[in-house]
Amino acid sequence: MGPRALGALVLAALLALAVPAAAAPPNTSEFIPGSSLGGVRLGMTEDDVLAAWGKRHGVCQDCADPTWYFNDKPFVPQGTGVVFDHGRVAQAFTVWRPIGWKTSEGLFLGAKSSEVSRIYGSLDKRECVSYEALLIPGKRVTSVFYVFRDKVWGFGLMRPGASPCL
């Protein structure tokens, strides 16, 4: 094998390794209330989100605002999502209890909903169609804990005053 063929082979191998890394789900599965969800913060640009969560995502066709979904596995509705307003993240959330997510204080998805108040105190509650949203209001960011059948099913960040119901 000549030097040109070897160089082409090495380049092809590097590209093959780079593509899966770019299509990976979030690098971290940590929710930091009032701050970030898997490294994504409110106000980030579309390019910032792609750098944090990879390029592989779906775009909601029926959503009022531009909404992207990053599924852990193709065609399986489990992962993360973001809603943009004027090209900036206005809301970030987990979708359908993805495995391995937890808060910086140790609350994990799948925990009993009573654990939310034990760790974070009494929270504002909003009733959505088939689930509840427990809110920690903040000046710039509202943190959300999504509860379904008395279990924590999701985490989210949104702008204050926005609807937590997805």
Q: How far apart are CA 28 and CA 39, in angstroms?
A: 7
Q: How far apart are CA 118 and CA 22, in angstroms?
A: 38
Q: Any idea where the domains of the chain sit in the sequence? A: 24-158
Q: What is the pLDDT along the chain (166 residues), one digit of tens a residue?
A: 444 433 333 333 333 333 333 344 566 799 999 999 999 999 999 999 999 999 999 999 999 999 999 998 887 889 999 999 999 999 999 999 999 999 999 999 999 999 999 999 999 999 999 999 999 999 999 999 999 999 999 999 999 999 999 8
Do 153 and 111 touch, CB atoms closer than 8 A?
A: no
Do 161 and 126 touch, CB atoms closer than 8 A?
A: no
SS3 28: coil
Top-level class of domain 24-158: alpha beta
